[in-house]
Structures are given as structure tokens and as C-alpha cells.
Amino acid sequence: MLLLRNLKPFFRRKSHYSFGIISRATNLPDQITSEFHEICCCRTFWSSTSSCNEMIGLSSSNSQNPYFFHNVAEFCTLLGQEKADELLDNAAATSGSDTGKEAKYPTREMIDFTQIHINKLPRVLIMGRPNVGKSALFNRLIRRREALVYNTPTDHVTRDIREGVAKLGNLRFKVLDSAGIEAEASSGSVLSRTAEMTGNVLSKTQLALLLVDARDGVLPMDLDVGKWLRKNAPGMKTIVVMNKAESLDDCDGTLASAAGEAYRLGFGDPIALSAETGLGMAELHETLRPLLEEYVLQNNLCADEEVQDNDSSSEDMECKLPLQLAIVGRPNVGKSTLLNTILQEDRVLVGPEAGLTRDSIRAEFQYEGRTIYLVDTAGWLERTKQQEKGPASLSIMQSRKHLMRAHVIVLVLDAEEIANTRRSMKHVEVVIARRAVEEGRGLVVIVNKMDLLRGKENYKLYKSVTEAVPQEIQTVVPQVTGIPVVFVSALEGKSQIAVMNQVIETYEKWCLRLPTARLNRWLCKVMSRHSWKDQAAQPKIKYFTQVKARPPTFIAFMSGKTQLSDTDLRFLTRSLKEDFDLGGIPVRILQRTVEGNSRTSTSSKNKQSANRMMERVVSDKRTILAVENSSTT
């Protein structure tokens, strides 16, 4: 770790400190370690409009070979000889000028990527053969562990296109994680379908990062991926990235040999990095920056001026917040097909294979002026010993995490299986529904594959399914009444409006806020029509109010020691849902005891404390008198 200080021989400004890390792969003379403490001057060049500082670190004047350090976008690396000579010439030219004037340094005006709208950011696709670390690099760029990472040389963990916003220094861009490409996959297989999906995404991206394993070198499969890329995207700007390079060293020539093999791909100079440790991210930043800036300047991308309405109420603001929607269910019930139907595009991979989805894919779209984040989760399975380890366990954990984050949960059922088993929900689906209710989420049940029950021969079966499913769901989940059930066929692609209208309606109920005056008027009517067994033991509710939404939570302030029983709470909850149309969402009612007037309470407390003091004094006097009498006798 180096601490480079920008001293003041050239600029009369405050000192700044920068930190840099030099890896073993850097070529340094033997005397470099003895000369680090002899760094005598450092100079910083910057522009008023630039957020990227360039710094030169010079060794002592007695050294014949000075060493230069480059600080760009919060990264610090050693400079090459050509760049060092260029910066040294600029430093010598400006040092001879008047120190009272501000030195001029030709810097390119940097672009603030944070001011560009997220939908207009350039798109970068990560691609390569399977098991080269594409998902690990994706997680490194977005600074979160969203994509599943598991070492499976014989299997493919990633099968869908995952999208996120990368944060690399001062750069912002959309990064896409793709499935491993095998050019020789058989037609109609899962690998051929994932390759076709990757090819469709290539037409919408500006850059491609072709990953290879630096430890294995360039394999024939990597060359096939390069040929596939040239065939499907001839004009695509491609950067070769040698991942897993943390174990390679430039001193013994392993890094140079790996770079020499990477030139066989024909895409220019490779970049050595490690997605697991973060080594080489500065070089990736320096390579991507001019390409991304060129794209932004060519397309005149700028930040959109968003006009916000400050007069809107808090209830309207809560309803207009982005809606988090999660699609959950057992494997092979049509969750991915339903997501493609809602988005009106082939966003995720679908097929007859069970358990095809492994990653939880998150997609953003607009519906009636509202931003919705839709998540397609992997199928929930029964716990077995085989699923306690491996990608299946990671998929289940990720599905549960997204269920906790969602606002509204769509539980998908299979109509054909319901008709065959004459049972609406299995144990896994009951667990999902009850967990959604316990977490306070809105619940919508979708019965998919209804097209398989149509026709004259299946008329009675179709009618029995539509009548029995809502009743059985109400029996299995009695905590929430009026759970909406929508019967659709996602394969036909005509169920978007029906599903989304029900989801929006449930979300608006979930965000509902009721005024206290209206609640207390409702409470008087409800308490009058309720039959109490004992009028003397009837609980007295002083007032009733809502303390929060999402989900609606109410507090009943009780006067006296009598509390509401479980039966009374169920009666009030059912009345709330019926009178205010709150079906399909959990409603919570809490109790609080209201004390009497503050003055009377304080006076009573003072009297009680005074009586206690008198009793103590009297008891002490009695004990003293008793002792005296016994002594005299």
C-alpha cells in the first residue's frame, strides 16, 4: 500500500492523499522498495469540470529511473513508459511558468454518467463459454450478489439474461449477464435456445465483454464463441477479458503467455482481471471510458428534467411508488410464460422442461404510467437431501428473498393438475400463501393453463374448477378473506390486462389510508350491531385510528382494563374488509390502553406514594415503641 502526497511546489493548494496497490504482476526494479519513502514531489492535474484526477508520483531526484503513479476515477495504478513520458513533459512545461498563475493542463471534459437517465445508459453484454466467471463479474460491477455463482463445470447455472446498473468508478452503464454459449449445441436444446436469446440481446447492446479463463488459456470452445460473435454481431465492439488472473504473475511469464493466447481471438489487447478479488478493474475502467463517452456524445444523451408535483398527497405518493411484483409457484406451472405475456416480449427462457428457471430475473416496465419491477422466481420445491446443496438450494433461497421484498405476490397454480388431483393447492403452495400473509404482502392467485380445460367435453370440469378453487383457497388461508383469483391462459398471450388490473387494485388497497373521523363513525355502527354476551363486560373502545399503510395497520385505544378478545378482533377485521373493500390483503389491529386524565392520574399517584410513606413511618414508630416497652418491662 502506497501513500502518495500531493505537495505544494507547483500549486498553492491543499494537500491531498491517494492510495494505490501494486500487485506482484507489476514489473518493478529491485531498488523500488527502498525508494518508495523517498518520493519527494507529486503533482495533480485536474479540470474544473472533471471528476477524474490524474496524478504523477515521482521518485527522488537522485534516481535515474523515476516511477509514475496514475490516479484515475478512484483507482491508482502504475503508468506505462509512454504515458509517463507524456505527463512528465507536460509537468516540465508547466513548472517553468509563473507559479502565481494556475497551470493549464489539457484535459478532456468528462461526462457525468450519473446525470443520464437509467433507460438511456449504454448497454454492455458479458458473454463467453460456460464457467468462465460471467456472473461473478456481473456481481462485481453492480456491487451486489444478485446473480447465482456456483462452480459447475458440467452444468449451466445462468440460463436467462440478467440486467443491472454497473458502477465502475465514475462510469455508469447497464450490464447484462448472459448464459454460457456453446456454438455446437443441438437444435432445440436448452443451450441453443439460450444462445438464440443472447443473439437477440446483442442487437440492442453497444459493447461486448468476451470472457476467457486465464488459467485454462484459450480453448477451442472460446474460438467458437468468437466466431459466433462475428457471425451474429459483425460490427460489435468487443473487449477480451482474461478472468481468474489473480494467480498469474508477470515475473515468471505466465501472464504474458496467457495474453499471447488471447490475441488468437482477434479482438485486440486483452485485459487481465479477477472478478472475485477485484484485481484489474482499473484497467477495465480505462478501456471502457473512451468507448462509453463516445457513445454518449454521438447520441447526445443528457439527463431528463423531471417535473414533480409537490401538491400531491402522501397517499397518492405511496400509490405512485414503484411496485415490487413477484411471481412465485411450483416448477412448470407457467411463471416464465406469464412474465413474457405481461412484458409482451420473450424476456426469459421458456420450455416444457421443469425447473428451467434458476435465477430470479428482475424486469422493469411501465403500465398505465406506473413503474413496476417484475420478478420471475425459480420454482419452489419440497426439501430433499439432494436440494440441500448445489444450485437448486441457491435458487430457493433467492426466491424466498424476493418474496420478502415484494409488495404484491402472484401465486401461480396449474389448472390441469387441479382438475386431475381435485385439489387446488399442495403443501408448498399453502406455505407460500401463508408466508405472504404473515409478512403482510398482497396476494393474488393466478390459475394458469385454463386453455387445456376448454371444450364441450371439459365444460363440467372447467366449471367445477372455477367454483371450487376460490372456496378452497379461503379455507386454506382463513387469515385473509376475499383473495382474488384470476383464471388465465398465459400461452395465448391475452391475460396481461386481467392480471395487471387485479394486481394494481390489490396494491392500491395495500396502500390505502382511512381518516380517523371516518373510522370512528364506522366503529359506532359496527359496535351497535354486534351482539355481546355480557353487556357489562363489553370492551369500551375510546377511539380507532390507522397508524400505517402497506399493509393497513389500525390501533384500538381501550378505556379500562377490558381488552378485545380474539373473537372481537376477528369481527372487527372482517367488518373492515367488508365495509372498506379490503379483500386480498392482510389487515392488522393492535390494542392500546388509554389512561385517565393526566392531572387526576398524577394526583392519585402522589396520594398513593404519600400513603406508602406514612405506612412506612407508622410501622417504624410502632417498632420503636415496641422495643422501648419491652426494655422497660
Using alpha carbons, select from 314, 311, 325, 310 the residue that is nearest to residue 548. Answer: 314
The most distant pair of C-alpha atoms in the chain lies apart, rounded to whole Å, by: 121
The pLDDT tens digits of the residues spanning 320-370 come to 689 999 999 999 999 999 999 999 888 888 887 877 887 788 899 999 889
The pLDDT tens digits of the residues spanning 12-22 come to 333 344 444 44
Judged on CB neighbours under 10 Å (0-12, 13-18, 19+), 432 is buried
Quote the radius of gyration of the chain (alpha carbons, Å). 34
Looking at residue 54, what is its pLDDT? 42
Comparing 299-308, 492-501, 596-605, which segment has the lowest mean pLDDT?
A: 596-605
Higher pLDDT, 397 or 519: 519
Mean local confidence (pLDDT), 69-76 = 46
Asked if 212 contacts 128 with a C-beta cutoff of 8 angstroms, the reply is yes
Higher pLDDT, 299 or 618: 299
pLDDT-based confidence at residue 45 (cuts at 50, 70, 90): very low
Q: Please give the single-letter amino acid code of residue 99.
A: T
Looking at residue 39, what is its pLDDT? 36
Looking at residue 35, what is its pLDDT? 39
How many CB atoms sit inside 10 A of residue 364's CB? Answer: 13
How many CB atoms sit inside 10 A of residue 242's CB? Answer: 25
Please name the residue that has the C-alpha cell 355481546: 532
Residue 60 has pLDDT above 90, yes or no: no
Comparing 67-81, 170-184, 314-328, which segment has the lowest mean pLDDT?
A: 67-81
Residue 389 has pLDDT above 70, yes or no: no
Residue 422 has pLDDT above 70, yes or no: yes
Which residues are 484's β-sheet partners? none
Mean local confidence (pLDDT), 466-486 = 91
Mean local confidence (pLDDT), 78-84 = 49
Looking at residue 540, what is its pLDDT? 83
Q: What is the DSSP secondary structure assignment for residue 452, as one 8-state letter?
A: G
Looking at residue 306, what is its pLDDT? 45
3-state secondary structure of 260: helix
Contacts of 175 (CB under 8 A, 6+ apart): 123, 124, 125, 126, 138, 141, 142, 163, 164, 165, 166
Asked if 434 contacts 441 with a C-beta cutoff of 8 angstroms, the reply is no
- Mapped to the 3 state alphabet, what secondary structure does 266-317 carry? CCCCCEECCCCCCCCHHHHHHHHHHHHHHHHHHHCCCCCCCCCCCCCCHHHH
Higher pLDDT, 47 or 303: 303
Looking at residue 388, what is its pLDDT? 52
Looking at residue 176, what is its pLDDT? 95
Looking at residue 251, what is its pLDDT? 77
Looking at residue 55, what is its pLDDT? 42
**DSSP string of 594-605?**
EP--HHHHHHHH
Looking at residue 153, what is its pLDDT? 61
**DSSP string of 368-435?**
TTEEEEEEEPPPP----SGGGSSHHHHHHHHHHHHHHH-SEEEEEEEHHHHHHHT-S--HHHHHHHHH
Please name the residue that has the C-alpha cell 483507482: 75
Range 268-304 burial, b when 16+ CB lie within 10 A, else e: eebbbbbbeeebbbbbbbbbbbebbbebbeeeebeee
Which set of grid coordinates corresponds to residue 549? Answer: 399503510
How far apart, in whole angstroms, are the C-alpha atoms of residue 264 and residue 40?
A: 44
Looking at residue 59, what is its pLDDT? 40
How many CB atoms sit inside 10 A of residue 117's CB? Answer: 11
Which set of grid coordinates corresponds to residue 505? Answer: 387494485
pLDDT-based confidence at residue 30 (cuts at 50, 70, 90): very low
How far apart, in whole angstroms, are the C-alpha atoms of residue 285 and residue 202?
A: 21
Mean local confidence (pLDDT), 476-487 = 91
Q: What is the DSSP secondary structure assignment for residue 108, as one 8-state letter?
A: P
Looking at residue 527, what is its pLDDT? 84
Q: Please give the single-letter amino acid code of residue 467.
A: E
Using alpha carbons, select from 448, 464, 457, 547 the residue that is nearest to residue 498. Answer: 448
How many CB atoms sit inside 10 A of residue 257's CB? Answer: 13
Mean local confidence (pLDDT), 380-398 = 64
How far apart, in whole angstroms, are the C-alpha atoms of residue 225 and residue 128?
A: 7
Q: Please give the single-letter amino acid code of residue 137.
A: L
Mean local confidence (pLDDT), 281-295 = 94
Comparing 159-163, 220-224, 371-375, which segment has the lowest mean pLDDT?
A: 159-163
| Alpha helix segments (H runs only) across 456-565 | 459-476, 496-510, 516-529
pTM over 0.85: no
How far apart, in whole angstroms, are the C-alpha atoms of residue 244 and residue 276?
A: 8
Residue 465 has pLDDT above 60, yes or no: yes
The pLDDT tens digits of the residues spanning 445-454 come to 999 999 999 8
The pLDDT tens digits of the residues spanning 366-375 come to 998 899 999 9
How far apart, in whole angstroms, are the C-alpha atoms of residue 136 and residue 128?
A: 13
Looking at residue 402, what is its pLDDT? 79
Asked if 159 contacts 135 with a C-beta cutoff of 8 angstroms, the reply is no
Residue 72 has pLDDT above 60, yes or no: no
Of the CA atoms within 13 Å of residue 477, those in its CB half-sphere come to: 31
Asked if 489 contacts 450 with a C-beta cutoff of 8 angstroms, the reply is yes
Using left for φ > 0, alpha for ψ between -120 and 50, and beta otherwise, residue 320 falls in alpha
Looking at residue 11, what is its pLDDT? 31
3-state secondary structure of 253: coil
Comparing 168-182, 227-241, 375-389, 570-584, which segment has the lowest mean pLDDT?
A: 375-389
Comparing 67-81, 239-253, 383-397, 478-492, which segment has the lowest mean pLDDT?
A: 67-81
Using alpha carbons, select from 501, 549, 541, 550 the residue that is nearest to residue 522. Answer: 541
Q: What is the DSSP secondary structure assignment for residue 246, as one 8-state letter?
A: T
